[in-house]
Each structure stands twice: as C-alpha cells, then as structure tokens.
Amino acid sequence: MTDTSDKTDDQADERADDKTPSRRKRRGTGPISSEEERLLATARPASQPNKPLAPAKGPAPATPKFGRYERPDFERVESMLASFANRRLGPLVNLVAKGFYGAATDEEKNNPGIRTAFYSFFLYGYRDPKGIRAVDLFAEAGLPLEGRQRAALDACLQARLVIMSLDDVHVGKHRMRGRDLLRDEPVTAFDRNASSLVKPGERLMCWQIPWGTSWQPIGYAVQIEQRKAVALERSIETLCNGLRAVRRELPEQHAHNLWWVGHRVANM
C-alpha cells in the first residue's frame, strides 16, 4: 500500500428492501434512513432553502480538461471540505462509518490509512437518495474560494474511484499509464509517491481527480501485486454477481464494497 498524501419509485424501493432485508447493510449503498435524510436536509445552506441541488453529472470523460490548479490548491480545498463535512454532517459521518467499517477487524478500524480511505468515500462517493454527495453540498454552500481553488473544487466534483492496470511507469516524470479496469478506458495519472513504488503489471486502486488532461491520485492508494491480478478479477466478478451489477456500476454505485474487495485482495 502507499499513501499518496495527499444513488424509481419509492414503493419499488420498499418492496425491494422487503424482499432482501439485508442487502442494504451488505452494500452500504442505496436509500438511507429518515434520520440520515433529516441530517442531510439540515446541512443545506439556510440562505438557499428552496434552491434544489443538482446531482453530479455522469462519468467524467477519459481525457478531461479542467482549469489549472496545483497540489496545494487541492489540499486547501479538501481541508475546507473535510471541515465542512465534520461541522455540518457530523452525525451522518458516524452513521456512514458504521456501514463502511461493518466487516472490518479491530486493527483495520484503527488503521489511519483506511480512515483516510473512509473520508474519501464519504466526501466523494457516498450519495443520498437524490444522488447528492458531501462535495456537492460543499459546492452549493458557496464558501469563498481564492483563485485556482475554484478549479480545484471543480476537479473534486469529478472525483472517482479507479482500479488501474499499470502498463508503463516513468519515475522521473511521476507518470503512470494504464487502463481503468472497470470503465475500460485508458488512464494517465501523475503522482510522485505512487510512481516510485508501483511497477508495470500491478494494479493501483485509489480516488482520482482530473488534472489538466490527466488524472491525479488523492487520499489513500492500494497497491495490488501482479501475482494477485487473477484473484482480483475473480473477486470483482463475485462482487458483480452478488450485487447484480455490471463492472462499470461498481465505482459509482458501490464504491465502498469495491474498495474493500481491492483492500482484501492486496492483503491476501
């Protein structure tokens, strides 16, 4: 492992839940309780009570083009985002954490890297029934951002979980080229720490944000050795069958399940 430092009808949902009472707990996704809805409602800016929040758009393109920002700009914005989430969504953070850590060992619950992975999931992956994430609420709040921080926030709104198959690693340029195994598209990512540790043939699982026409890993990354590639593929297939989902749906709709699959395989 390496630390890079850095969502139909309500009645149909109720019938589905009645038939599979344990599915929601097992996935950690889907509709949330009325208590969570209340917490999310109170987190929205009081000055804009009637303004609806628009869910984030669909998957980002393989080669996004965003305004220029630097790593310190992103770090400052994410720090503000984390503070906003703890201040406005504190009780909800604890509820979501219980689901995220549902099958974790005591050691994993105390692992600071996994704690970082949870916060990445909560900020960028966890969605309410309307598809709203913590980062969407933060953007809607209209907190003051300076200069390139606005571009960094735009990038955060496109954050996505990726399992990347590495084809080429250039340590000097901090560049990693490969393929997104779930979206089946080419990916080029830049990160100093990760590029110095991974090798071609390995898999790298992490959250990524657009950076120019490439991607930048953020948060806590999981390195999966090449010899475990077959085990990873089998585990992903098992997850798809269990959730009745296709591969492309996993990072968008079942990010926390996917993350734990990658983590378990990496630590086999």
14 within a domain of the structure (yes/no): yes
Q: Residue 103's pLDDT is what?
A: 87
Residue 143 within any structural domain of the chain: yes
Q: How far apart are CA 5 and CA 204, in angstroms?
A: 15
Contacts of 8 (CB under 8 A, 6+ apart): none
The angle, 0 to 180 degrees and rounded to 10, between the axes of the packed helices 229-243 and 255-266 is 150
**pLDDT the model gives residue 67:** 57
The contacts of residue 55 (CB under 8 Å, 6+ apart) are 7, 127, 130, 131, 132, 136
Please name which of 137, 102, 96 lies closest in space to residue 119, comparing C-alpha atoms: 96
**Residue 6 placed within a domain:** yes
pTM of this structure: 0.75
Q: Which of 89-93, 233-237, 243-247, 254-258 has the lowest mean pLDDT?
A: 89-93
pLDDT-based confidence at residue 37 (cuts at 50, 70, 90): low
Q: Positive or negative CA dihedral for 67, 72, 75, 80?
A: negative
Please tell me which residue, 57 or 114, carries the higher pLDDT value.
114
Percent of the chain with pLDDT over 70: 75
- Furthest-apart CA atoms within the chain: distance in Å: 56
The total of structural domains in the chain comes to 1
Residue 74 covered by a domain: yes
Tell me how far CA of residue 267 lies from CA of 164, 198, 222, 260, in angstroms. 17, 16, 10, 11
The residues pairing with 210 across neighbouring beta strands, listed in sequence order, are: 215
Q: Is the pLDDT of residue 119 over 80?
A: yes
**pLDDT for the residue numbered 143:** 85
Residue 61: name the closest of 171, 175, 183 by CA: 183
| Rounded Cα–Cα distance for residues 13 and 10 (Å) | 5
Q: Is the pLDDT of residue 26 over 50?
A: no
What's the confidence (pLDDT) of residue 146? Answer: 83
Asked whether residue 214 is assigned to any structural domain, the reply reads no
**Structure confidence at residue 63 as a pLDDT band (50, 70, 90):** very low
| Enclosing domain of residue 28 | 2-45+62-156
* Domain membership flag for residue 200: no
- Region 43-49: mean pLDDT is 52
Whether residue 88 is contained in a domain is answered as yes
Task: Please report whether residue 198 resides in a domain.
Answer: no
CB proximity list for 167: less than 8 A, separation 6 or greater: 177, 178, 179, 200
Q: How far apart are CA 183 and CA 47, in angstroms?
A: 39
